[in-house]
Amino acid sequence: MFLQINKVREYFPALAGKWTFFDNAGGSQTLKKVVDRISEFLLTTDVQLGASYEISQLAGERVALATRGMATLINAKSPTEIVMGPSTTMMLKILAICLSQTFTDGDEIIVTNCDHEANIGAWTNLEKQGIKIKFWQIRPDTLELHLEDLEPLITQRTKLVALTHASNILGTINPIKEIAKFVHERGAMICVDGVAYAPHRLVDVQDLDVDFYVLSFYKVYGPHYALLYGKEQHLLRIPGLNHYFIEQTDIPYKFQLGNVNFELSYGMLGLCDYLSELAQIHYGNETAPELRNQMAQVFDLISVHEEKISDRLLQYLNSQPKIRVIGKSTANRELRVPTISFVVDRIHSSTIPPQIDPYHIGIRYGDFYAKRLIEYLGLASQGGIVRVSMVHYNTIEEVDRLIAAFEQVL
């Protein structure tokens, strides 16, 4: 069974325009179902929560329903483990500020050199209060993180290991379940940035056994909004940041300054609607009865389709002697997501996307806030990398148009 791409694209109004979007790791196009949910909230229940009157009660029910939907999306044990807020960067800052209050001078945190700065800077800032920061670096030959390199970094003072699920530059999927087990056996917690992974694969925080997990909704077909997951036992013991009269047992509210954005939270139910409908379109009478299993059915189709379009692009890039793919050169969906980066010999990366613009194809260059990785790879002076970041609504035909454009300008 294959993803019915024409059906998929009908859910994204922006795709009916003249532009081909290959900058999806920077922000995906938004589902109409998400917009419809946002509009429904604003037009019919745009009131403060917690009052006795009917519309306020309905508004509260809608926000609670959205939280349950996001718990289903990542397979959290309870909606109380779902903290929603303005951005992944902000959610990690809040987590770092709150969690650090449980640390003491000399405790250690391990970060990587291949993450988005959101999951590095939040933790390196804690050096000011006596927390020791160590870097787990990718190997220059494999461009991967290796557990053998993590082991000597961990000590009895290590409190947390922070890393990415999939690199927003390399596209490489890290074996988080294996790493989490390794970290937990040594008495530390793990915080995972899933921003570059969640648009492509179904997240299961219970199976991964992570302590904290973050993702951005605007890269998973929704609005500019984000989610932080934390195991309930951690969220209960960590001091909150909300007003002094908010009970420390009141999770997730004690981490949600000014409360959640009601309409954006409710809007994300549109993603649940979309995944459920796609499952029914593709599987018919064999559609799983439960929403979570429907999501799994759809993401299986998504991963197969993404592997196919990645393979087409990677085969072309690998065939060009002047082009060097940064990351895995094969499209294996078990090992990478369709975020594909490359450099061209003796050509500054900044000069390439503007030449593609006239073809109405959107790509991008730079460090994508993974500045430490770009510097480690020695690519800063070249303007970083050129990135083509695809998602499941992209097509083989779009990839072929991009390849034809590359043939003209590279």
Evaluate if residue 25 carries a pLDDT over 90: yes
Radius of gyration of the chain (CA): 21
Name the average pLDDT for the chain.
98
Burial profile 1-21: b = 16 or more Cβ within 10 angstroms, e = fewer: eebebeebbebbeebeeeebb
What percent of the chain is predicted at pLDDT more than 70?
Answer: 100
Residues 6+ apart with CB under 8 A from 226: 84, 85, 86, 87, 88, 90, 91, 214, 215, 216, 217
The torsion of the CA quartet 77, 82, 88, 92, rounded to 10 degrees, works out to -80
Long-range pairs for 396-400 at CB < 8 Å and ≥24 separation?
A: 396/308, 396/309, 396/312, 398/20, 398/22, 398/309, 398/361, 399/309, 399/312, 399/313, 400/312
Is residue 294 very low, low, confident or very high in pLDDT (cuts 50, 70, 90)? very high
Q: Is the pLDDT of residue 9 over 90?
A: yes
- Domain extents in the chain: 5-30+291-409, 34-271
Pure H helices in 129-223: 147-150, 176-185, 205-208
| pLDDT tens for each residue of 321-376 | 999 999 999 999 999 999 999 999 999 999 999 999 999 999 999 999 999 999 99
Mean of pLDDT values over 216-220: 98
Token pair listed for 22: 């290959």
Calpha distance 174→123 (Å, rounded): 20
In this predicted model, what pLDDT tens digit does every residue of 235-269 receive, in sequence order?
Answer: 999 999 999 999 999 999 999 999 999 999 999 99
CATH level 2 (architecture), domain 34-271: 3-Layer(aba) Sandwich (3.40)
Q: Taking a C-beta distance cutoff of 8 angstroms, is the pair 192, 164 a contact?
A: yes
Q: For strands 212-216 and 226-230, give the pairing.
A: antiparallel
User: With b meaning 16 or more CB within 10 Å and e meaning fewer, what string describes 110-127?
Assistant: bbbbbbbbbbbbbbbebe
- State the Cα angle at 336 between 330 and 342, rounded to 5°: 65
The neighbouring-strand residues paired with 145 are: none
Structure tokens that stand for 323 in this block: 């082009």
Q: Say if residue 1's pLDDT is above 90.
A: no
The percent of residues above 90 in pLDDT, for the chain, comes to: 100
Looking at residues 176-200, what average pLDDT do you find? Answer: 98
Instruction: Write down the pLDDT at residue 258.
Output: 92
CATH code matching the domain that covers 5-30+291-409, chosen among 3.90.1150.10, 3.40.190.10, 3.40.50.150, 3.20.20.70 = 3.90.1150.10
- Asked if residues 266 and 58 have their Cβ atoms less than 8 Å apart, the reply is no
pLDDT at 362: 98
Condensed to tens digits (0 to 9), the pLDDT of residues 63-111 reads 999 999 999 999 999 999 999 999 999 999 999 999 999 999 999 999 9
The CA distance from 122 to 89, in Å, is 8
Cα distances (Å, whole numbers) of residue 94 to 90, 252, 396: 6, 12, 41
